[in-house]
A and B are shown apart, each in its own frame.
Chain A
Amino acid sequence: MTSVTHHETEIALEPDVPAVRITREFDAPPEQVFRAHVEPDLVARWLGPRGLEMTIHHHDCRTGGSYRYTHADADGEYHFYGSFHEVRPSERIVQTFTYEGFPDGVSLDTLTLEDLGDGRTRLVGISLFYSFEGRDAMVASGMEVGIREGYERLDELLAD
């Protein structure tokens, strides 16, 4: 197999709790999707946005473990860290997530992998925030890149 099938990512903002839900299917069994979340050299190949250099300082994906990584571009460095609360092989990863630029902000991220059979997996990621403002601000900032692009878009809207 040389071609890769892409499935559309779905985003849902929960109305009653400050959470974001991401759903995505993969043409790979849960064991492999899990492995790509656990092994640092694999994580480094997909987690970091294009155009930013990703450095994983440590990524100890097991219950009680922790992680810290840095995205860097010409404008600066962005540090992220958290703890792995529960890691259940090929099924579930529960972790905290903090962007050091907002040290008071922390989300609780629960990733579940559902075996769809035929070597396919549905990934559901739920990020729970402390407040609706915190969640919406994270969505608005894009969290990692494109803030400038957002400002430009906002400028266009405001210029109308």
Chain B
Amino acid sequence: MAADVLSPVFAAMADPIRRDIVARLTVSDATLTALADRYDVSVQAVAKHLKVLEVAGVVSRRQEGRERPAHLEAEVFDLMTVWIERYRRQAEARYRRLDEVLASLPDDPDPGTPPPGAAP
């Protein structure tokens, strides 16, 4: 179910290089060589990161001539965006209720402290 589909996505995104690869791929597809140039790790290490993203369904790779450029599966990312937006809306709903509570409180925030110059 949902957890089975999403867990690999979350695991894939737990690594900073993989998050950076995904950020890069939101701009355009990229080859392994082009991606590897960005990091201080071996091409093999970047290939491994790509493999994790591929297995998680976050990226796909299709043969184009001699290369297999990595392509971001936007749909999976839309799902993450959906989760974050839903979480934000829940927080927003909660804080709108807090707005109402605050509006119902008396204006004087602290009746124990008289305003400056108030009569004793």
Contacts and interface: CB of A to CB of B under 8 A. Distances in A.
Interface of A: 1, 4-6, 8-11, 13, 15-16, 20, 22, 24, 26-29, 31-33, 35-36, 42, 45-47, 49-50, 123, 131-133, 136-137, 139-140, 142-146, 149-151, 153-154, 157-158, 160
A9 B102 contact: no
Contacts of B90: 49, 142-146
A28 B16 contact: no
A46 to B, nearest CB: 4
Contacts of B10: 132-133, 136-137, 140
Given A49-B93, A139-B83, A157-B79, A42 B101 contact: yes
Interface residues of B, number: 37
B83 A150 contact: yes
A149 B90 CA distance: 13
Chain B's interface: helix, strand, loop or mixed, by majority? helix
12 contacts: A11-B88, A26-B95, A27-B103, A29-B109, A45-B97, A50-B97, A132-B14, A136-B13, A146-B90, A151-B2, A154-B79, A160-B75
Chain A's interface: helix, strand, loop or mixed, by majority? mixed
Contacts of A15: 16, 19
